[in-house]
């Protein structure tokens, strides 16, 4: 068993890894035995007091893994029962089924209710190939499992979850623990994947590293060493101008807090100067909370031309609104040649009049992404990787598709996935803080794709740290501001 790797694969890539492993001399049944043994070790680790298990098996190799687990459990003195929904289809699965029979494990049909004496359910229904909602007896079996309230260990992937997209189009297993095998699946970490997977484990089944080098991953999981390599230390002769000047446009009537948080987040990420363009009447609110922010109140978009010329990066959207002032301010921002970060209502306005640009960063949540692509939020969540690629194809630049398992994409670059963050961050203002962090990093000279990716990682890590210290419930966006500074300084390397 090892820690989670950075390379992520789709179903096709996982099948290629299996095939190449077999070509390297590991028999298919040998891989199945290793998977079953690894799963049983996870079972013993997380449920050491388990006395009775039910293993629910489909007809594929995922079911074969389940038969191995049942046989190992029986041989270890744990009462095991197999519920088989189909005949084993492959020679390997049939061989595993025979092992379970030899161990004395009874094999029966799926009951209408799981018996009370069962301590744990092992999900071996579907592997990585499922791309539709489970129907008929399959959907019914998932329903019975979830209605039981019994803990679940999922093999390879929770049944009903799409391994490529993280979507759950129908009934799905919400496992307490998932052990996945050989390659880490993208769908386990985005969309519904993290919720359905529970605590995620990976076992590579001792597949040689040369096998992995032959299959290109579809995405990369963000990790600390990668992000750290992008963050240089400060020069001893640095001055505020060298650390970038950001202009943040937003804060329409009654929405001053959004630009204030974005501005402070930009400072906390290391920016040298932060100016905010906002509606008249907001200065006192903003400067009383963060006096370092330079505030420019105006109703006239023409009045900010001089200020914009001083900017290394422009961020537009936090509290922007969608009135005539908002549209005029957005147009001013998009006329600049420097990098532009667009969030919130800037994205909603952009959806009304789409354009293409290489040096901008778009940061939509699923609802805003749906407006950019003129579809429903459900369509976005059904295939988040496809959606983010479509956004960058249509709009250019770099896109951050927020949500559980945030994705960051730039045309021609490998898709990045952040598996950090927590449900406590589902509160107002979190996107404004993220906008400020990304803008602050870009203003310090980072490439926009790296600024976006690093910003997402730092923001999520700060949220996790706040949750660790004070819990998820009651978290506010402003709680992250001190931790953003801490997270970045922990990552920084020297020249």
Task: CATH number of the domain at 155, please.
Answer: 3.40.50.10260
pTM of the model: 0.96
Q: Is residue 2 part of a domain?
A: no
Same domain, 281 and 176: no
- Cα separation, 241 vs 397, whole angstroms: 26
- Domain with 450, as residue range(s), is 224-491
- Cα separation, 60 vs 422, whole angstroms: 34
Same domain, 233 and 327: yes
Q: Is residue 216 part of a domain?
A: yes
Q: Is residue 1 part of a domain?
A: no
Q: What is residue 409's predicted lDDT score, i.e. its pLDDT?
A: 98
Same domain, 239 and 178: no
Q: Is residue 31 part of a domain?
A: yes
Q: Is residue 72 part of a domain?
A: yes
Domain boundary among 220, 246, 273: 220
- Beta-carbon neighbour count of residue 321 at 10 Å? 21
Q: What is residue 494's predicted lDDT score, i.e. its pLDDT?
A: 44
- Cα separation, 46 vs 40, whole angstroms: 10
Same domain, 46 and 15: yes
Percent residues over pLDDT 90 in the chain: 95
Same domain, 48 and 144: yes
The per-residue pLDDT for range 73-102, each reduced to its tens digit, is: 999 999 999 999 999 999 999 999 999 999
- Beta-carbon neighbour count of residue 161 at 10 Å? 30
Q: What is residue 96's predicted lDDT score, i.e. its pLDDT?
A: 98
The neighbouring-strand residues paired with 72 are none
CATH number for the domain spanning 361: value is 3.40.1190.20
Residue 223 has pLDDT above 60, yes or no: yes
Over residues 112-127, the mean pLDDT reads 96
Q: What is residue 493's predicted lDDT score, i.e. its pLDDT?
A: 60
Same domain, 212 and 281: no
Q: What is residue 2's predicted lDDT score, i.e. its pLDDT?
A: 47
The contacts of residue 428 (CB under 8 Å, 6+ apart) are 477
Domain boundary among 220, 248, 278: 220
Q: Is residue 264 part of a domain?
A: yes
Domain boundary among 193, 220, 247: 220
Same domain, 475 and 351: yes
Same domain, 135 and 182: yes
Burial class from Cβ neighbours inside 10 Å (0-12, 13-18, 19+) for residue 177 reads: buried
Q: What is residue 238's predicted lDDT score, i.e. its pLDDT?
A: 85
Same domain, 205 and 178: yes
The residue among 398, 412, 377 whose CA lies nearest residue 456 is 398
The contacts of residue 211 (CB under 8 Å, 6+ apart) are 17, 20, 21, 24
Q: In total, how many domains does the chain have?
A: 2
pLDDT confidence bin for 130, thresholds 50/70/90: confident
The neighbouring-strand residues paired with 407 are 401, 417
- Cα separation, 495 vs 165, whole angstroms: 39
The per-residue pLDDT for range 174-214, each reduced to its tens digit, is: 999 999 999 999 999 999 999 999 999 999 999 999 999 99
Same domain, 393 and 453: yes
The residue among 265, 266, 273 whose CA lies nearest residue 243 is 273
The answer to whether 276 and 259 have CB atoms below 8 angstroms apart is yes
Same domain, 209 and 61: yes
Residue 388 has pLDDT above 50, yes or no: yes
Percent residues over pLDDT 70 in the chain: 99
The answer to whether 385 and 188 have CB atoms below 8 angstroms apart is no
Sign of CA dihedral 372, 195, 398, 482: positive
Q: Is residue 43 part of a domain?
A: yes
Same domain, 187 and 270: no
The answer to whether 123 and 144 have CB atoms below 8 angstroms apart is no
Q: Is residue 84 part of a domain?
A: yes
Q: What is residue 3's predicted lDDT score, i.e. its pLDDT?
A: 82
Average per-residue pLDDT for the chain: 96
Over residues 15-37, the mean pLDDT reads 97
The contacts of residue 115 (CB under 8 Å, 6+ apart) are 54
Over residues 154-182, the mean pLDDT reads 97
Q: What is residue 81's predicted lDDT score, i.e. its pLDDT?
A: 98
Residue predicted with more confidence, 311 or 494 = 311
The residue among 164, 127, 118, 169 whose CA lies nearest residue 145 is 118
Residue 1 has pLDDT above 60, yes or no: no
Q: What is residue 347's predicted lDDT score, i.e. its pLDDT?
A: 98
Pairing of strands 199-203, 360-362: unpaired
C-alpha atoms less than 13 angstroms from C-alpha of 486 in its C-beta half-sphere? 12
Q: Write the Ramachandran bin of 156: left for phi over 0, alpha for psi from -120 to 50, otherwise beta.
A: left
């Amino acid at each position: 068993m090892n820690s989670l790797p950075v390379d992520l694969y789709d179903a096709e890539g996982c099948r290629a890894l299996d095939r190449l492993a077999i070509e390297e001399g590991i028999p298919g049944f040998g891989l199945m035995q290793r998977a079953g043994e690894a799963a049983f070790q996870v079972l013993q680790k997380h449920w050491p007091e388990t006395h009775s298990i039910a293993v629910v098996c489909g007809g594929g190799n995922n079911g074969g893994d389940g038969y191995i687990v049942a046989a190992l459990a029986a041989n270890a003195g744990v009462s095991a029962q197999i519920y088989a929904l189909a005949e084993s289809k492959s020679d390997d699965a049939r061989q595993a089924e025979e092992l379970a029979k030899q161990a004395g494990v009874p094999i029966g049909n799926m009951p209408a209710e799981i018996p009370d004496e069962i301590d744990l359910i092992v999900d071996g229904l579907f592997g990585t190939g499922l791309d539709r909602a489970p129907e008929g007896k399959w959907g019914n079996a998932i329903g019975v499992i979830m209605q039981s309230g019994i803990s679940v260990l999922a093999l390879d992937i929770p049944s009903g979850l799409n391994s490529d997209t993280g979507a759950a189009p129908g009934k799905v297993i919400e496992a307490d623990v998932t052990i996945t095998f050989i390659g880490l699946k993208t769908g386990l970490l985005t969309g519904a994947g993290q919720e359905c997977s529970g605590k995620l484990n990976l076992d590579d089944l001792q597949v040689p590293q040369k096998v992995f080098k032959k299959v290109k991953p579809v995405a990369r999981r963000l990790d600390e060493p990668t992000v750290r390599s992008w963050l240089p230390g400060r020069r001893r002769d640095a001055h505020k101008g060298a650390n970038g000047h950001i202009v943040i446009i937003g804060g329409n009537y009654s929405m001053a807090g959004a630009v204030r948080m974005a501005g402070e987040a930009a400072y906390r990420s290391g920016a040298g100067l932060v100016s905010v363009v906002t509606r008249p009447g907001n200065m006192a609110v903003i400067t009383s909370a963060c006096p370092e922010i330079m505030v420019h109140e105006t109703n006239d978009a023409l009045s900010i031309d001089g200020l914009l010329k001083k900017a290394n990066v422009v961020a537009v959207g936090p509290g922007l609104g969608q009135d005539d002032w908002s549209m005029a301010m957005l147009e001013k921002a998009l006329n600049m040649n420097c990098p532009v970060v667009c969030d919130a209502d800037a994205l909603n306005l952009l959806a009304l009049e789409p354009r293409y640009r290489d040096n901008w960063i778009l940061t939509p949540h699923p609802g805003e992404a749906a407006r950019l692509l003129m579809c429903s939020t459900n369509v976005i969540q059904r295939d988040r990787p496809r959606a983010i690629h479509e956004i960058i194809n249509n709009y250019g630049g770099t896109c951050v598709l927020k949500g559980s398992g945030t994705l960051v994409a730039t045309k021609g670059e490998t898709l990045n996935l952040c598996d950090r963050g927590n449900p406590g961050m589902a509160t107002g203002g979190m996107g404004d803080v993220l906008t400020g962090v990304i803008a602050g990093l870009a203003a310090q000279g980072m490439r926009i794709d790296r600024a976006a990716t690093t910003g997402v990682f730092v923001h999520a890590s700060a949220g996790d740290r706040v949750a660790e210290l004070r819990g998820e419930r009651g978290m506010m966006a402003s709680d992250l501001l001190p931790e953003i500074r801490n997270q970045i300084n922990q990552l920084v390397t020297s020249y």
